[in-house]
Amino acid sequence: MKYILLVIDGAADYPIEMLKGKTPMEAAELGFMNQLARKGKLGRVKTVPRGFAPASDVANLALLGYDPAKYYCGRGPLEAANLGIKLGPDDIAFRCNLVTVSDGKMLDYSAGHIAEKESALIMKDVNKALGSDEIEFFPGISYRNLMVYRNAKKYHFEKIKYFPPHDIMGSPMEKHLPKGKNSDKLVDLMHRSQEFLANHDINNVRIDLGENPANMIWLWGCGASPAMPSFEDKYHIKGAVISAVDLINGIGRTIGLKVIKVDGATGYYDTNYKGKAQAALTALKKLDFVFIHIEAPDEAGHNGDLRMKLTCLERIDKMVVGTLLDGLRGEDFKILITPDHPTPVAKRTHTDEPVPFLIYGKGVASGNFSGYNEAAAQNSSLYFDKGYTLLDHFIHD
């Protein structure tokens, strides 16, 4: 048996007046997923436990079968794991976004989805200007970078209140800087980055081209090195992860999944959808399980871009699900398709409502559902209040 977990990041949404009261999942043309829904079963799963912020690290840990209440460590150390950065027992890793602030407000959490090459050059210069024996900056993918603060356990940075930049779009920047004891150490770095980046050569060019400059670093999502049992030890199968996002790949590395890189996988609208599906099919020739993560709908939700959310959902249906079904014809397989959390276009941030999931494949009885969307899943009696139990149900039931 081959197992595929396809996470459509941020796909779930609210009914939208422009769509005549439908959600993007209801309004999009999802021919392949709707076909699977009619032949498989739907349900809902709460991926974000009560008391947790609806963050991607929390939700994806749960979807992979790891209880966030037991294993949550923050986003930073997971991304560090993917970048091959070794953390000492007293080191703390932070997500370090390159952002655009203007007139004292958070204008853009991604600095215009800055290109990876530009971002890497900027982070190299940031490290020269702001780094020290204790502090080091590392480039990631696009705006998603990393800062490591060595020997920092004594500062208790994990107790500070942080504000993810995608949650404060259009809001006053100063009001949402880190708050709590020792937060001044981080706020000082962030303010100094503004001064340094104001006249950076790359930003001057970006402004001339009408693009958002990367004029500040934003620190959040901190944590220490995690300790989790391997995926193989938990489920007795070997697997891989396919994602363009350091966080997801970092979770994969931490639990012993093989990380597969795909040319053209960007984590944005233009990602190589079909290439991810083809890479999964190749991996399944030797492995039992593949976790495919598609970031694009989440980015559309954060950008408040309804048209692109619909477009990305349809691309996933045709280029990912369609390619997988064609390649798996005649094979014994099961596929679980689910968002990790909602990212409603109207709110432009994550929310914590349960999300609809779809299971199809060998041994799965048909529930005669009309299609794959939030409303159809509401008609199912299948509900997992503890999100980390869903994968066990998928693999073993």
List domains and CATH numbers for the chain: 2-72+227-396 (3.40.720.10), 81-223 (no CATH)
Q: Distance of CA 179 to CAs 53, 107, 196, 318, Å?
A: 17, 21, 23, 45
**pLDDT value for 397:** 85
| Strands of the chain, DSSP E | 2-8, 41-45, 92-102, 105-108, 135-141, 144-149, 216-223, 239-242, 258-260, 289-294, 333-338, 355-361, 383-384
Cα distance between residue 192 and residue 184, in whole Å: 12
Q: Which of 82, 5, 47, 104 is nearest to 253 (CA)?
A: 82
Cα distance between residue 63 and residue 334, in whole Å: 15
**pLDDT value for 324:** 98
pTM, 2 dp: 0.86
Cα distance between residue 357 and residue 374, in whole Å: 9
Cα distance between residue 376 and residue 394, in whole Å: 19
Cα distance between residue 109 and residue 122, in whole Å: 16
Per run of 10 residues, the mean pLDDT along the chain (length 397 residues) is 98 98 98 97 97 94 97 92 92 97 96 96 98 96 95 95 94 96 97 97 97 98 92 97 95 96 95 98 98 97 97 98 97 98 96 98 94 97 98 95
* Secondary structure (3-state) at 387: helix
Count the neighbouring beta carbons within 10 Å of the beta carbon of residue 163. Answer: 17
